[in-house]
């Protein structure tokens, strides 16, 4: 872990250094610090709040050894003040866990640290490192101390580490599997792998890759980041929304090719989907991740704000996304948390952090946010979505309704609807007149209502089978046109129930690009002539 050593090389500008690290990096960092001091034969001591002593730290056969007590101690900072420490490197943990302190306790602790730095200036040969997983210093302390932050390793650092440890050119898949893991996790897994002597070949590297993928899944699921899990879309494509689909699945995919970078082209960094519920905003984000082969990392704004320490969660999340690189950062239902924007509050601070990151980050992370009510988003936030665009996903027009019906009919009744993307009614089992009748009834339906009604028909068909037929399981599912038509007539359309709020949504999002072009299908209704008509 040579690169880690470079990161924690102390600069000696200040006798006191703070070092922020991931929980799994502790052991590696402590080992590295002992190693770095052994060349100067400088003793290393350690304390955390589980010890009543300061202990000596050494390495024995590459393992950390916590030695005999040097000094009784409940607060090591007091000992520094009493000038009771002998020369050496002292590593103290837990003193920067300010989160659990009251404001007064915190102020006392900060003063103690401040005083220590002043004292240590006159005690040569003593250096102190304060460890912490989330270090937030006051400006007063920031000026007095040296700060090091051990982030997640980048793809290049991972590649170099793997190559050194495995003496093998690491496959790209192995590198990607490690992206998003901390140094300590990678090191631990590699040690385990190398601990069992066996030949390193493509098979063993594949199984190592799998181990890393499983480890990352486990870590992310238990990270406290409340990352949302999104299943893969279970339909082959998105109905309607032709303009947006072309942008995503043609232009965006091409701009993400490594070849595009040769021309200095960069893929867009952020997109925003706005529209009524059930029109495919979340589905489109999932499909984009699938098509690009990116990881979909979702987090609801409500969860961030509800977390114990929202600022920390956001930092971890953004660092994780940057480190993994090929990620869609999915901010679903973003309007939910923005109600207190004007009043300042944590929402504003968090969003501000996102804004800065969205502008600055150089990783290929694509942010996709979805909202129902765009009026809750402040203008400075909207501007950030200019490159990928703000898109309006509205209720499907008549041609799109035909399209969406066929996706679900082919999924539920595949023996009857053999083509999920029919170019015309000739490729379906129903006539043009039947389709017109169905579309007349389904106008103003959302795609989710269409999907639901077709699924209900399949469930009804199955439940109508006899016990024998269900056991045999060899019946083809067939849908009767009139049955579907009746079911569609019974839909209690959300768009009718909430007509006013949907219209308001459209008015507020007047500047958004339409996801769908005008209906040019044979089912479109001719525009009615304006009252008064033309001349003649």
Ligand X SMILES: Nc1ncnc2c1ncn2[C@@H]1O[C@H](COP(=O)(O)OP(=O)(O)OP(=O)(O)O)[C@@H](O)[C@H]1O
Residue 420 C-beta: closest distance to ligand X, Å: 11
Quote the distance between the C-alpha of residue 462 and its chain's center. Answer: 39
Burial class (CB in 10 A: 0-12, 13-18, 19+), 6: exposed
CB nearer Mg ion, residue 334 or residue 461 = 334
H helices present in 258-397, as ranges: 258-262, 281-292, 301-306, 310-324, 345-360, 379-383
CB nearer Mg ion, residue 187 or residue 332 = 332
Q: Residue 535: which residues within 8 A CB-CB, separation 6 or more?
A: none
Q: Which does 14 bind (CB under 5 to 8 A by kind): Mg ion, ligand X, none?
A: none
Q: Residue 433: which residues within 8 A CB-CB, separation 6 or more?
A: none
CB nearer ligand X, residue 267 or residue 447 = 447
Q: Which does 277 bind (CB under 5 to 8 A by kind): ligand X, Mg ion, none?
A: ligand X
Map 39-107 to HEC letters: CCCCCEEEECCCCCEEEEEEEECCEEEEEEEEEECCCHHHHHHCCCCCCEEEEECCCCCHHHCCHHHHH
Find the residue with minimal CB distance to ligand X: 280
| Cβ atoms of residues 34 and 169 within 8 Å | no
Interaction of residue 32 with ligand X, rule CB under 6 A: no
Interaction of residue 282 with Mg ion, rule CB under 5 A: yes
Torsions phi, psi for 229 (to 5 deg): -95, 130
Q: Given the rule CB under 6 A, which of 156-164, 167-175, 235-243, 344-352 is the region that contacts ligand X? A: 235-243
Torsions phi, psi for 151 (to 5 deg): -90, -170
Q: How far is CA 156 from CA 291, 322, 498, in A?
A: 25, 13, 51
Q: Which does 323 bind (CB under 5 to 8 A by kind): Mg ion, ligand X, none?
A: none
Which residues, numbered 386-415, are part of the site for ligand X (CB under 6 A)? 404, 407
Interaction of residue 245 with Mg ion, rule CB under 5 A: no
Interaction of residue 372 with Mg ion, rule CB under 5 A: no
DSSP 124: T
Interaction of residue 422 with ligand X, rule CB under 6 A: no
Which residues, numbered 442-471, are part of the site for ligand X (CB under 6 A)? 447-448, 451
CB nearer ligand X, residue 135 or residue 407 = 407
CB nearer Mg ion, residue 281 or residue 384 = 281
Which residues, numbered 81-120, are part of the site for ligand X (CB under 6 A)? none
CB nearer Mg ion, residue 19 or residue 287 = 287
Interaction of residue 370 with ligand X, rule CB under 6 A: yes
Interaction of residue 181 with ligand X, rule CB under 6 A: no
Encoded tokens for 350:
């968090």
Residue 396 to residue 446: CA distance in whole angstroms: 7
CB nearer ligand X, residue 43 or residue 278 = 278
Site string for Mg ion, 35-64 (x = CB under 5 A): ------------------------------
Chain residues in the site for Mg ion (CB under 5 A): 281-282
Chain residues in the site for ligand X (CB under 6 A): 235, 238-241, 275, 277-283, 333, 370, 372, 404, 407, 447-448, 451
């Amino acid at each position: 872990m040579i690169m880690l050593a470079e990161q924690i090389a102390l600069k000696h500008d200040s006798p006191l250094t703070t070092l922020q690290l991931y929980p799994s990096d502790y052991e590696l960092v402590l080992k590295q610090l002992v190693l770095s001091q052994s060349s100067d034969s400088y003793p290393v001591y350690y304390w955390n709040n589980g010890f009543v002593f300061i202990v000596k730290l050494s390495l024995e056969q590459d393992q950390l050894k916590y030695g005999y007590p040097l000094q009784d101690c409940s607060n090591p900072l007091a000992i520094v003040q009493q000038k009771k420490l002998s020369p050496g490197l002292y590593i103290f943990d837990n003193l920067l866990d300010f989160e659990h302190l009251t404001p007064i306790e915190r102020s006392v602790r900060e003063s103690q640290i401040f005083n220590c730095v002043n004292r240590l200036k006159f005690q040569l040969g003593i250096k102190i490192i304060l460890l912490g997983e989330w270090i937030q210093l006051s400006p007063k302390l920031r000026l007095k101390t040296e700060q090091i932050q051990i982030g997640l390793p980048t793809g290049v650092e991972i590649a170099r580490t793997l190559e050194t440890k495995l003496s093998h050119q690491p496959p790209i898949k192995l590198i990607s599997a490690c992206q998003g893991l901390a140094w300590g996790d990678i090191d631990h897994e590699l040690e385990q792998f190398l601990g069992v002597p066996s030949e390193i070949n493509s098979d063993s590297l594949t199984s190592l890759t799998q181990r890393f993928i499983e480890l990352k899944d486990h870590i992310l699921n238990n990270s406290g980041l409340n990352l949302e899990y999104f299943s893969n879309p279970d339909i082959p494509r998105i109905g309607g929304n032709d303009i947006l689909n072309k942008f995503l699945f043609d232009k965006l995919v091409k701009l993400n090719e490594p070849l595009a970078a040769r021309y200095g082209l960069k893929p867009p960094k952020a997109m925003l989907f706005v529209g009524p519920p059930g029109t495919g905003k979340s589905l489109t984000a999932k499909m984009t991740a699938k098509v690009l082969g990116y990881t979909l990392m979702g987090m609801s704004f409500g969860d961030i704000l509800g977390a114990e320490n929202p600022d920390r969660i956001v930092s971890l999340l953004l660092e994780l996304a940057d480190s993994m690189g090929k990620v869609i950062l999915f901010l679903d239902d973003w309007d939910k948390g923005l109600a207190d924007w004007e009043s300042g509050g944590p929402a504003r601070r968090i969003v501000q952090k996102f804004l800065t990151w969205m502008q600055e980050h150089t990783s290929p992370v694509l942010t996709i946010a979805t909202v129902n009510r765009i009026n809750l988003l402040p203008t400075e936030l909207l501007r950030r979505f200019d490159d990928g665009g703000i898109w309006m996903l509205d209720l499907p027009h008549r041609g799109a309704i035909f399209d969406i019906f066929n996706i679900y009919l082919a999924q539920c009744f595949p023996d009857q609807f053999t083509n999920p993307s029919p170019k015309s009614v000739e490729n379906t089992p129903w006539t043009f007149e039947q389709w017109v009748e169905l579309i007349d009834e389904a106008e103003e339906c959302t795609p989710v209502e269409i999907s639901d009604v077709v699924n209900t028909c399949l469930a009804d068909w199955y439940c109508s089978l006899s016990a024998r037929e269900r056991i045999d399981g060899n019946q083809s599912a067939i849908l009767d046109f009139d049955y579907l038509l009746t079911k569609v007539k019974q839909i209690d359309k959300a768009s009718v129930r909430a007509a006013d709020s949907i219209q308001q949504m459209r008015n507020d999002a007047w500047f958004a690009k339409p996801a769908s072009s005008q209906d040019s299908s044979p089912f479109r209704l001719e525009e009615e002539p304006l009252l008064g008509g033309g001349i003649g």
